[in-house]
Structure 1
Amino acid sequence: MTSATLTAPLAPARRLGVGAGLRHTLTLAWRSLVQIKHNPMELLDLSIQPVMFVLLFTYVFGGAISGSPGDYLKFALPGIIVQNAFFATMTTGFGLNNDLTKGVFDRLRALPIARWSPLAGRILADTVKQAWSVALLIGVGMILGFRLGNGPLGLLGAFALLLAFSLAAAWISVLVGVLVSEPDKVQIFGFMVIFPLTFTSNAFVPTETMPGWLQSWVEVNPVTVLADALRGLLVDGPVAGPVVQSLIWAAAIAVIFAPLAVRGLRRRV
């Protein structure tokens, strides 16, 4: 006598709510931040290099460009903050590619967590590191003589604008991170793109000192726009126009690169 054994169909996996996804995101962001304790060099990269740029540019180029290091610091510090922010976004792609190549991302995606939380956790952790780097730069600048022209509100506005722009620019890094095969290639991309982008802006020298054919690009360069916005918020000068233009640039970058990065990540995993 034979008997047929009937098995009930498996119930579909329960969809996780937004609240659960946010908790998973915070947990994974904390995981990325805790790694700093075991790998302090990760934080030193965001600390030593920007401070070195501040000291070198202020005391080597300050007298030649602005007449004195103090006057040049008022002009250059916002630009150095912007350059550092662009470089810091590359850590998102570097860390993501490292997780992908080592299989960490696959293990995280196999857990009963929101599908978007590993990527969101990575970006959130890097935003916290970004805030640390900006605070360090402003602190060192104030030790060297930099003074806030618009008080605490201007400082908070500069922080908010820079972090919002960095969140948008991080999608470029994510796209690079999912396309290249090794983490080091993310850094190579950063040096090949970010250095020309920042040095063909008014981050370090006034636009009018450059050749006329270059000034046309400098004026629309997103680094120039963001540096002008930070100068207006932190020191003095126009605020509304540069801030609006910076937000437009951030929105355009996010609209273009976020879908491409998400599509590339889905193909990779």
Structure 2
Amino acid sequence: MQWFNAVVQGLLLGGLYALFATGLSLMFGVMRIVNLAHGDLAVVASFLALALVGGTGLPLWVVVVVTVPLFAVLGYLNQRVLLQGSLSSGPLATLLVTFGLSIVLQNVLLEIFSADTRTLDGGSFATSSFQLAGSITVGWLPLATFLLACAVLAGIQVFLTRTGLGRMLRASSDDRETANLVGADSRHVYGVATAIAFATVALAGLMFAVRSSFDPATGPSRLIFAFEAVVIGGLGSLWGTLLGGIVLGVTQSLGSQIDPAMTLLAGHLVFLAVLAFRPQGLLAGRTA
């Protein structure tokens, strides 16, 4: 029963990893950008929510409703102002730009909030749970995070396949020059993709901040988990991020059952195994 419980907890943890990985997968699938500031953006969202809760006294759910759209706007502006110019210079330029953004964000957070560890108070919802079967306990927050990840992925899938802007985004991903000839504005389309990516990583950061503690230096570790989930699932595969997150979460959970010191190592070993034997990922494909 303990092993089955470990699988259940790993499955729920995989939802959080998938939520982190969604924006990273989307930006790569559409623009071929690996955003090295991805994890730091999640931490920025967490600190912003913490400041809003402490400064305004608003309920956490209201702060979430405010923060996620705000990050979508910031994502659009970031793409138009910062990333667009580097796209024509090749992938190395975008890597350097996002790496520089990561360093700046970490230092700004350190200057404003210090290196102290913080957490978002989710109230009873963050700690309450229910009995699934026998000794298996499922927390409401992990379950909500998993369902939220599935809903976000389904929403993005519907947007890409059922809307005109989504189809234009897919066309720009396939061939930007041809899409421009038929009326697509690749800069606007890429801005929309980045806006969605920023919104999803903000949502992931907030869910993680309620679930665990954070500080200005936790961004790179979030990036590693998101990147591993994307690679395991398949670079550019939208639903592959969910599968990759689940594989990573279950592996870590089972590893902790064997030895708590193997929790992170087990996930890294699976990541290396996928790179060695199936580098295209479990669900090879493209996001758009």
Give TM-score scaled by structure 2 length.
Answer: 0.31
Larger Cα-atom Rg: 1
Give TM-score scaled by structure 1 length.
Answer: 0.32
| More contact order relative to length (CA 8 Å, sep ≥ 6) | 2
